[in-house]
């Protein structure tokens, strides 16, 4: 049964009730409806998380394809305009690039299968966008090539990424795959004009993220992204044999840490000022990450957050970025 109200989310809109399925046991057996105060266990459409609903609180269990789940409290959020800071997702929200990254994952699977004609089917798409590379590849291995290893898939993936990114940075390749989202330049300049801090947040690894940021800023004529943004946080560098990697495969979206670090460390936002911070996302994983970090959440059209069952987690929705300006600026 889907409750009418969920602590931390509030009233469930009628059109969003279908975004959840109800189960009796969750958290890999840790929780059961009717036991220890658990009133409901709800699974959003993307099946990446579970809501453990009590009378006075909700816990979010983040599933993990790599065997490291986590549990977070889901707290109420509020926004008091004008915004002091806006936290923006990269892929999809700021730069239209998801098709490129899904294409590389698709080509990785094609290589593993030795089938150049391999293509994803529509139901694969929520599982190959918005999460970590290893989560995406784990899904593909389980479904399409169970005899392959994650290490083998990662090696192929990063070889493809290195090749494509080198081409793009040198002005060749698929640079057209990275173009600014509609209204991005106007949106960013308007925020800057009103003194709003801007943080760019991505689950993408640095070697993937940086070329697309550069490509978008070249198109917009906004100069150096490092001088424009107040903070940029990525998932770091990938772990490869003989090299040092950084934390980035187990803690990205839908975990809250990238957004929390951008706000607390990158922008120096104090916890009591969270009500003046807004996060903007187009993916289901990102929407949940912002909410778990405790920020007012704007869903941006064009991504998979609606298809993933995350509309209930958004506090405001917009077709394009500039639609959010009156809200953010208190106009």
Q: Which two structure tokens, joined as six digits, stand for 73?
A: 């409290």
Residue 174 above 70 pLDDT? Answer: no
**Model confidence at 192: pLDDT above 60:** yes
Could you give the percent of the chain with pLDDT greater than 70?
97
pLDDT of residue 19: 96
Please state, in angstroms and rounded to a whole number, the distance separating the CA atoms of residues 248 and 326: 34
Q: Residue 2 contacts by C-beta under 8 Å, 6 or more apart in sequence?
A: 12, 17, 20, 22, 40, 42
| pLDDT score recorded for residue 172 | 67
C-beta separation of 128 from 136 below 8 A: yes
Q: What is the pLDDT of residue 96?
A: 87
What is the spatial distance between Cα 96 and Cα 103, in angstroms, rounded to a whole number?
Answer: 13
Mean pLDDT of 237-259: 88
Burial of 11-32, coded b for 16+ CB within 10 Å and e otherwise, reads ebeeebeebbeeeeebbeeebe
Instruction: Between 275 and 251, name the one with better pLDDT.
Output: 275
User: pTM for this structure?
Assistant: 0.86
> Around Cβ 295, how many Cβ atoms within 10 Å?
28
Residue 175 has pLDDT above 70, yes or no: no
pLDDT, position 173: 63
Choice between 179 and 140, residue whose per-residue pLDDT is larger: 140
Per-residue confidence band for 189, with pLDDT thresholds at 50, 70 and 90: very high
Q: Please, what is the average pLDDT of the chain? A: 93
Displacement of CA 138 from its chain's centroid (Å): 17
* Average pLDDT value for residue range 122-150: 89
What integer pLDDT is reported at residue 99 of this predicted model? 83
Write down the pLDDT at residue 171. Answer: 65
């Amino acid at each position: 049964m889907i409750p009418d109200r969920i602590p931390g989310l509030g009233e469930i809109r009628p059109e969003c009730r279908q975004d959840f399925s109800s189960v009796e046991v969750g958290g890999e057996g840790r929780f059961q409806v009717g036991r220890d105060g658990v009133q409901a266990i709800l699974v959003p459409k993307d099946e990446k998380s579970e809501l453990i609903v009590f009378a006075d609180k909700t816990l979010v269990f983040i599933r993990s394809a790599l065997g490291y789940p986590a549990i977070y409290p889901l707290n109420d959020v509020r926004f008091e305009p004008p915004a002091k800071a806006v936290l923006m997702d990269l892929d999809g929200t700021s730069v239209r690039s998801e098709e490129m990254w899904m294409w590389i994952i698709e080509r990785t699977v094609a290589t593993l299968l030795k089938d150049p004609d391999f293509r994803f089917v529509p139901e694969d798409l929520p599982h190959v966008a918005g999460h970590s590379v290893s989560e995406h590849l784990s899904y593909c291995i389980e479904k399409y090539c169970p005899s392959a290893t994650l290490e083998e898939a990662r090696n192929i993936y990063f070889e493809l990424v290195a090749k494509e990114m080198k081409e793009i940075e040198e002005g060749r390749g698929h640079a057209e795959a990275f173009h600014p989202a509609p209204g991005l330049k106007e949106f960013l300049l308007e925020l800057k004009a009103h003194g709003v801090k801007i943080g760019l947040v991505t689950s993408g690894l640095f070697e993937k993220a940086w070329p697309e940021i550069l490509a978008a800023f070249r198109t917009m004529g906004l100069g150096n992204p490092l001088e424009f943004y107040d903070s940029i946080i990525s998932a770091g560098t990938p772990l490869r044999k003989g090299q040092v990697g950084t934390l980035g495969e187990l803690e990205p979206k839908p975990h809250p840490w990238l957004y929390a670090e951008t706000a607390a460390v990158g922008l120096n936002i104090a916890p009591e000022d969270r009500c003046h911070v807004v996060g903007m996302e187009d993916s289901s994983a990102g929407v949940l990450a912002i909410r778990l970090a405790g920020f007012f959440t704007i869903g941006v059209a064009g991504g998979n957050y609606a298809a993933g069952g995350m509309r209930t987690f958004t506090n405001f929705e917009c077709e394009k970025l500039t639609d959010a300006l009156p809200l953010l600026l208190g106009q």
